[in-house]
């Protein structure tokens, strides 16, 4: 009986991981998990009374699997069986490559779980445990590599790996493409071009029903609908956005949102675009003119740190929604053109700004590393509820990657 119980619980945990990867936390129901696990609904409710219990079990299963894999790797490194691992950078590369291919389902589920962390106290505790455990095992592996970079730099390497995963996973690049990208043998803009097969930056008016745009009143209603969708994205995730939920949030009749947005996809795309444009405006305002003569390397470090802290403390909730939409591109290829367009613009802006500071062109890998570090550190901060003391090393982390880029 004990063996059957363990087998059932494992099947349910695996089913939950599959549901999380496909539908996010909002799609995690007892019925959906039972179907994915090929067990009865009664079995899921018997072993896990609440959705939170299932989520916690999925998180424990994922964490145990990752830690076991890292411990096996650590053993091989200490035994001289992994000669290709010489630096912490090699670990970053391996983790990212595995995430986009072999561990794709588990990685998507992990992203959903960690984003959930920013929405509740229980979720933040899960996220805190995840990051603490990852930092500890990476420090242990680094000790065997003999680089002795210090615990802060090990945490920054974890953040860069997570940032790469968040940036690249929704775009569904193949492992060889990501391998060339991380080694600098291909350009991010070239890879992104394959996704931009249509105008990803179309206006809000074009995304909805153009016939409903005849008055200022109509525009105000559309904006209210979009904001309601964004609020749901922040609180519950992309899969929770429905006409009924949006109507309730915006104070409309149930048929109201569908008049302005004939499809949920169109509404999600518009909400996505709104979040991206807001973020772009904030970054542009913070960094200013990339060709400004007064900007120096240290000034760029200061500005980057200031923008990062503002995103953490002033726009934490909005960033939860932003990255929830970003990750939904993994399930919905139609959302990828906007992701590709925004990521490409951000990459080009960073490259221009760094080139203005350094006085020469910047290599591809260094630019992507800065983007990944910023995103990874932001994900850690907003999902764990980090305070100022937890973020005290952010400036030094940004200084290291910016200095490396400008050499």
- Average pLDDT (271-275) is 87
| Residue % of the chain over a pLDDT of 90 | 48
- Average pLDDT (195-211) is 47
Tell me the pLDDT tens digit for each residue of 75-133.
998 888 888 888 889 999 999 999 999 999 999 999 999 998 888 888 888 889 999 99
Q: Which residue has the higher pLDDT, 399 or 332?
A: 399
pLDDT of residue 352 exceeding 90, the answer is no
- Using CA atoms of 193, 194, 200, 201 in order, give the dihedral in degrees to the nearest 10: 0
List, in order of start, the domains of the chain with CATH numbers.
1-61 (1.10.10.60), 84-197+276-407 (no CATH)
- Average pLDDT (182-197) is 81
The per-residue pLDDT for 200 is 42
Nearest of 325, 315, 163, 311 to residue 236 by alpha carbon: 325
- Tell me how far apart the alpha carbons of residues 38 and 40 are, in angstroms, rounded to a whole number: 7
Q: How confident is the model at residue 294 (pLDDT cuts 50, 70, 90)?
A: low
Three state DSSP letters for 58-98: HHHHHHHHHHHHHHHHHHHHHCCCCCCCCCHHHHHHHHHHH
- Tell me how far apart the alpha carbons of residues 198 and 338 are, in angstroms, rounded to a whole number: 10
Cβ pair 356, 292 in contact under 8 A? yes
- Tell me how far apart the alpha carbons of residues 374 and 338 are, in angstroms, rounded to a whole number: 20
The per-residue pLDDT for 402 is 93
The per-residue pLDDT for 289 is 62
- Average pLDDT (343-349) is 88
Cβ pair 299, 306 in contact under 8 A? no
Tell me the pLDDT tens digit for each residue of 16-53.
999 999 988 888 999 999 999 999 999 999 999 998 89
Q: Which residue has the higher pLDDT, 368 or 288?
A: 368
Tell me the pLDDT tens digit for each residue of 165-180.
999 999 999 999 999 9
Please, what is the angle between helix 364-384 and helix 336-358, to 10°?
A: 120
The per-residue pLDDT for 292 is 55
């Amino acid at each position: 009986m004990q063996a059957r119980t363990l087998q059932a619980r494992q099947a349910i945990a695996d089913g939950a991981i599959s549901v999380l990867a496909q539908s996010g936390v909002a799609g995690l129901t007892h019925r959906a998990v039972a179907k994915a696990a090929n067990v009865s609904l009664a079995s899921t409710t018997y072993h896990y009374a609440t959705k939170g219990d299932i989520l916690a079990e999925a998180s424990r299963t994922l964490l145990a699997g990752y830690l076991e894999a890292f411990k096996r790797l650590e053993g091989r490194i200490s035994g001289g069986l992994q000669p290709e691992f010489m630096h912490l950078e090699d670990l970053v590369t391996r983790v990212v490559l595995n995430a986009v291919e072999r561990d794709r389902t588990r990685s998507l589920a992990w992203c959903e779980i960690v984003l959930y962390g920013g929405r509740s106290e229980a979720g933040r505790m899960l996220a805190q445990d995840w990051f603490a455990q990852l930092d500890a095992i990476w420090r242990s592996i680094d000790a065997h590599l003999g680089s002795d970079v210090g615990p802060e730099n090990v945490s920054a390497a974890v953040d860069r790996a997570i940032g790469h995963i968040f940036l690249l996973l929704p775009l569904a690049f193949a492992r060889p493409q990501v391998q060339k990208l991380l080694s600098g043998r291909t350009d991010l803009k070239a890879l992104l071009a394959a996704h931009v097969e249509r105008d990803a930056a179309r206006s809000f008016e074009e995304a909805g029903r153009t016939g409903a745009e005849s008055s200022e009143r109509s525009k105000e209603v559309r904006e209210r609908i979009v904001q309601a969708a964004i609020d749901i994205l922040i609180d519950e995730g992309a899969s929770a956005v429905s006409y009924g939920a949006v109507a309730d949030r915006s104070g409309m009749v149930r048929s109201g949102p569908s008049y302005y947005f004939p499809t949920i996809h169109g509404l999600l795309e518009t909400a996505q675009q709104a979040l991206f444009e807001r973020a772009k405006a904030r970054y542009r305002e913070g960094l200013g003119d990339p060709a400004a003569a007064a900007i120096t390397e240290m000034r760029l470090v200061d500005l980057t740190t200031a923008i990062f802290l503002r995103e953490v403390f002033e726009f934490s909730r909005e960033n939860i929604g932003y990255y929830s939409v970003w990750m939904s591109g993994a399930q919905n290829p139609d959302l990828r053109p906007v992701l590709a367009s925004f990521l490409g613009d951000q990459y080009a802006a960073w490259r221009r700004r760094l080139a203005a500071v350094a006085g020469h062109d910047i290599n591809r890998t260094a630019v992507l590393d800065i983007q990944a570090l910023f995103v990874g550190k932001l994900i850690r901060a907003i999902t764990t509820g980090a305070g100022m003391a937890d973020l005290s090393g952010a400036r030094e982390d940004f200084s290291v990657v910016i200095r490396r880029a400008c050499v």
